[in-house]
Structure formats: structure tokens, C-alpha cells
């Protein structure tokens, strides 16, 4: 039987980072993944440029049963620490918006950096290798069934991610390992995912497919000022992906298409200044033309001069522009979700090390844990930070 000090299950962001750190300490490390290549989600992330971290920090940027759980790891290995690694590897990067850092070149540079660091630390990598049961060995440590036979290890780091994008190899494997050791797993659901609408809504939405607009999308007190995008199935774009992590079935979301603007006052002023112009022309100063036309039609305005549009109609239009209530019926699900909300219950883990309470030597890192970040690099930072802390002790 092959024996190592640390076996890492999953060669994604969190697993590779944990392996590098354990290897740095002189541990014999083996990483096993059923995919044909390591770090596939890194490779496709950020539109191929990998939004590898975010300079922002705050407990409100993470969701889960106990968002504070993430803070210990995030403070010990910070965005600045990861940036230092990227700089040392000579990878050029830029800030796009809202603290989001992307590679200037390709996401593959991040994968290559991690693979290079693993090789330098002597980490062994088995790709295209299945994983089976994990059990405690009679003489201490663990035994892990793999497609290449049983592997004995003093420590096991579970880094098999969540359920998002099964086509890319995502499985619920990590949750099964947790359950096999009696560790609780919170309810999982797709997050950072486009929202879908019922047919009657899609009837008017479909013609808008491809239209993007800046706005504020909110659910209760939580809101995001970013772009939203109409699609053939409903709504997408950063603001909608963000709110999808908070939205629940049956609820409405609120879309403000002109945040900070008194739209009623704006429309009245337009009517006075250019009464011969159509309402959609005034709206077109705030919104893409197709959307302006739709809102004009939905308000029952005839398309004639604004001077003929009554105050009640203007107020109705203003209310729609500033507080459009839309009721999604679902989401596109794990097929397109960027992350999985929920996972291994943080109550069962030590936040300083990611070790399972009551199962010494068993660690869970990255997305498999019930810690989910906002869009914008927070999920990779969680993968680096949680992988790093486990790698210091496993």
C-alpha cells in the first residue's frame, strides 16, 4: 500500500494550495483528482483571466451559517499574501473594478504557478484517478480508496469543491466523506447563478435578451450596484448573480434602474423642457432604447408626445424604473452556478486549521465548506486562505 503524510482529495484551487503549503513543511504529499487536468475551474474563471482575489475584506462578503468562521483563515492568509505569490511568479495583473484583481494574460498562468510550486515541493499528482471511501486506519491515520489502490495517510485534506458545473467534474463527494465521519452538512443550493422566470414574464423579457443595464438589484436590505443582463431565460449579469445567493423561491427581487435619481422629478423636468418628445426618448437618457420602449408600453403610454402623458402615468413609470419588482421562479441550477451555497457545517470544523472536530487529521478546505463568497474573487481567496491554514498543520 502506498503511504504518504498527507493525501489531498481534489486538485482545484484549495487542494493545490494546501498541498503546496504542506509540501513546504517537508510533508510527503499526494494530490488525487478524477479530472484529466488540475485547476480546471481556475482555467475558465474570470472569462479566462481568473479573478484570483479581491482587495476588499469584510464578513458581509461571505455567506454561510456562520460567516465569521471564515475570518480567521482570511486574516492569516490575506489577499495581499496571494498577490505577493502572483508577483513573485512574475504574473502581471490589473484591478478591474470593486477591488477585483485579474491576470493581464491568462488564467492558465495561475494554474501553472500552482503546478510549478507543487512540483518544487515534491508534491505528487494523480490525475484521472477516482476516489472511493475514506476510513480511519486501525493503527492511526487514514486509508483512502483510489483508482490506483488504497493509499495510507496520516492526514486527509478534502478539497473536492461543491456541486456547481457537474460537466467539469463537480460531485457531492466531499459531503459524502463528511457524512461518513458523522459531520453535519448544511443544505446546499446553487449560488452566483442566473435567475429564471415564468413563461408569462419571458414573453416580454425575451425581446430584451442581450440588453445590459447598470442598476441596483436587491432583496430586502441586501443590494448590489452592478450590471444586469436580460437573457432568453431571465436575468443574469453580476448584480443578478450576486443577489441569487440571497434570493429564495417565492420571493421577489427589486431592480432600481436609476439608483440615486428622483426619476419622477426627472421625467417632469423632461416633459417641461421637451414636451413634444416621446416618453421613451426621455427614458432613453437613462436606459437602453429597447428597455425604454418596453417600459413606455407597459405603462400604457401611447408613444405620443410627453406633453400628453398624465402625471399618474409618469409616476407609474418612475416607480417602475426605480423599484421594479420581479419574481423569479428559479435559477439555472448547478449547470451554470459559479458556486455552491452550503456545505460542511462550520460548527464541525476548527476555523484556525480547518480540521474536523473530533476527527484529528481530517480537514475540509475550499468550496466544500459552508463558506460562500460574493462574486469578485472572494471565492478563490477563500480557497487560498482555507487551503493555506490546513497546509500549515496537516
State in angstroms the smallest separation of the CB of 390 from ligand FDA: 12
Q: How many CA atoms lie within 13 A of 15 on its CB side?
A: 31
Q: How far is the CB of 149 from ligand FDA (least distance, A)?
A: 15
Shortest Cβ contact with ligand FDA: which residue?
A: 12
Q: Residue 339 Cβ, how far from ligand FDA at the closest point, in Å?
A: 5
Decide whether 54 or 196 has the Cβ nearer to ligand FDA. Answer: 54
- DSSP character at residue 105: S
Q: How far is the CB of 3 from ligand FDA (least distance, A)?
A: 20
> Does residue 340 contact residue 204 with C-beta atoms inside 8 Å?
no
Report in angstroms how near the CB of residue 37 gets to ligand FDA at its nearest: 8
Binding residues vs ligand FDA (CB under 6 A): 10-15, 33-35, 40-41, 44-46, 50-51, 130-131, 159-161, 164-165, 169-171, 173, 338-339, 366-367, 377-380, 383
Considering beta carbons, is residue 124 or 201 the nearer one to ligand FDA? 124
| Closest CB to ligand FDA among residues 158, 267 | 158
Nearest to ligand FDA of 361, 373 (CB atom): 373
DSSP-assigned letters across all residues of 212-245: EEEEEEEETTEEEEEEEEE-SSEEESHHHHHHHT
Q: What is the CA radius of gyration of the chain?
A: 25
Cβ 12 vs Cβ 42: under 8 Å = yes
C-alpha cell at 237: 449579469
* Pairwise CA distance, residues 14 & 135, whole Å: 22
Based on CB atoms, which residue is closest to ligand FDA, 67 or 283?
Answer: 67
Tell me the CA distances in angstroms from 390 to 20, 346, 363, one per residue in order.
11, 14, 7
Amino acid at each position: 500500500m502506498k503511504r504518504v503524510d498527507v493525501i489531498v482529495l481534489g486538485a482545484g484551487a484549495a487542494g493545490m494550495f494546501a498541498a503546496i503549503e504542506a509540501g513546504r513543511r517537508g510533508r510527503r504529499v499526494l494530490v488525487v483528482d478524477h479530472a484529466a487536468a488540475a485547476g480546471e475551474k481556475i482555467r475558465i474563471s474570470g472569462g479566462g483571466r481568473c479573478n484570483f482575489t479581491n482587495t476588499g475584506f469584510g464578513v458581509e462578503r461571505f455567506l454561510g451559517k456562520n460567516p465569521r468562521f471564515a475570518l480567521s483563515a482570511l486574516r492569516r492568509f490575506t489577499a495581499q499574501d496571494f498577490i505577493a505569490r502572483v508577483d513573485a511568479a512574475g504574473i502581471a495583473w490589473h484591478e478591474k473594478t470593486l477591488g477585483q484583481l485579474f491576470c493581464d494574460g491568462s488564467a492558465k498562468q495561475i494554474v501553472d504557478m500552482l503546478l510549478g510550486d507543487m512540483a518544487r515541493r515534491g508534491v505528487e499528482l494523480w490525475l484521472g484517478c477516482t476516489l472511493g471511501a475514506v476510513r480511519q486506519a486501525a493503527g492511526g491515520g487514514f486509508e483512502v480508496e483510489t483508482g490506483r489502490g488504497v493509499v495510507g495517510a496520516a492526514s486527509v485534506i478534502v478539497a473536492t469543491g461543491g456541486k456547481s458545473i457537474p460537466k467539469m467534474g463537480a460531485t457531492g463527494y466531499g459531503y459524502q466523506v463528511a457524512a461518513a465521519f458523522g459531520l453535519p452538512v448544511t443544505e446546499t443550493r446553487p449560488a452566483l447563478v442566473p435567475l429564471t422566470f415564468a413563461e408569462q414574464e419571458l414573453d416580454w423579457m425575451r425581446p430584451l435578451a442581450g440588453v445590459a443595464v447598470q442598476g441596483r438589484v436587491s432583496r430586502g436590505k441586501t443590494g448590489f450596484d452592478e450590471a444586469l443582463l436580460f437573457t432568453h431565460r431571465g436575468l443574469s449579469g453580476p448584480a443578478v448573480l450576486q443577489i441569487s445567493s440571497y434570493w429564495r423561491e417565492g420571493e421577489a427581487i427589486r431592480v432600481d434602474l436609476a439608483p440615486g435619481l428622483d426619476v419622477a422629478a426627472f421625467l417632469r423636468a423632461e416633459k417641461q423642457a421637451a414636451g413634444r418628445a416621446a416618453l421613451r426618448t426621455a427614458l432613453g437618457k437613462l436606459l437602453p432604447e429597447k428597455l425604454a420602449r418596453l417600459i413606455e408600453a407597459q405603462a400604457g403610454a401611447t408613444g405620443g408626445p410627453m406633453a400628453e402623458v398624465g402625471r399618474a402615468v409618469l409616476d407609474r413609470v418612475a416607480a417602475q424604473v426605480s423599484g421594479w419588482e420581479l419574481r423569479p421562479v428559479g435559477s439555472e441550477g448547478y449547470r451554470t452556478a459559479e458556486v455552491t451555497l452550503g456545505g460542511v457545517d462550520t460548527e464541525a470544523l476548527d476555523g484556525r486549521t480547518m480540521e474536523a472536530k473530533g476527527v484529528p487529521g481530517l480537514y475540509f478546505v475550499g468550496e466544500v465548506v459552508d463558506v460562500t463568497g460574493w462574486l469578485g474573487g472572494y471565492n478563490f481567496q477563500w480557497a487560498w486562505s482555507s487551503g493555506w491554514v490546513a497546509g500549515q498543520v496537516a
